[in-house]
Amino acid sequence: MFKTLNIDSEKEERIINAATQVFAKNGYQNASTNAIVKEAKISKGILFHYFNSKKDLYVALYEHLSDLFTEKIYERIDWKERDIFVTIRAVTLIKFELFAIYPHLINFLTSAFLEEAPEVKDDIEQIKVKMVENSFAKLFSNMDTSKFKEGVDVKKSIQIIYWTFEGIANQQQQKAKTLSVEEINREEVLAEIDSYIELLKVSFYK
């Protein structure tokens, strides 16, 4: 939605930064638009000129920052790499790199992922499902299938591998309920991912 709004770029940046921080800290229900406009140094009238409600702002922000986060991953990924496990590990490392660069963005996306407010939950889920489908298609459409065992259904195998690591990511986001991005143990997460990679290689690779 941010892309379709005719907002002055400097003002847009202030709204994004302010809303990201306020929503990440307070969640949807407890976030105040008064706090957002104060942080952004704009009037409430200007905010609601572009967004009809707090919900509209929240959903638009989630879609915008999800797209931004995905684009940052795509910018850093090695598109020549065709081993699915190398790609998955690389994406994990890139995410940790982005955690350090954009902590407020990551905290907001994690908060939104866990958001239970009925006003926004379905909208967030729809955006998330679409993003996962698009990412899966883009990241894994050109994997080296010659590494897989004879007779296995490669398409289903890739889906199982992807779902496994999506599950790990979801577990980490659940842990983030009580931890900030900075407190997530990078080495612990990588060790868990490496253990699953070895297990899945035995199951699916020659």
- pLDDT value at position 148? 96
Please report, for residues 7, 97, 108, 187, the alpha-carbon distance to residue 122 in angstroms, rounded to integers and kept in the order given.
27, 30, 17, 34
- pLDDT value at position 76? 95
- pLDDT value at position 177? 60
- pLDDT value at position 164? 93
- pLDDT value at position 3? 58
In a domain, 122, yes or no: yes
In a domain, 173, yes or no: yes
Residue for token digits 């940052």? 72
Domain containing 88: what range? 59-204
For each of the chain's 206 residues, which pLDDT tens digit applies? 565 566 778 888 899 999 999 999 999 999 999 999 999 999 999 899 889 999 999 999 999 999 999 999 999 999 999 999 999 999 988 988 888 888 888 889 988 988 999 999 999 999 999 998 899 889 998 899 999 999 999 999 999 999 999 888 877 777 666 666 666 778 888 999 999 999 999 999 99
| Contact (CB, 8 A) for 99 and 92 | no
Q: What is the rounded distance in angstroms from the CA atom of residue 47 to the CA atom of residue 182? A: 31
In a domain, 72, yes or no: yes
Please report, for residues 42, 51, 66, 180, 200, the alpha-carbon distance to residue 60 in angstroms, rounded to integers and kept in the order given.
18, 9, 10, 23, 37
- pLDDT value at position 184? 73
In a domain, 198, yes or no: yes
In a domain, 19, yes or no: no
In a domain, 32, yes or no: no
In a domain, 197, yes or no: yes
Residue 107: CB atoms within 10 Å: 20
- pLDDT value at position 44? 92
Domains: count for the chain:
1
The CATH number assigned to the domain holding 114 equals: 1.10.357.10
In a domain, 3, yes or no: no
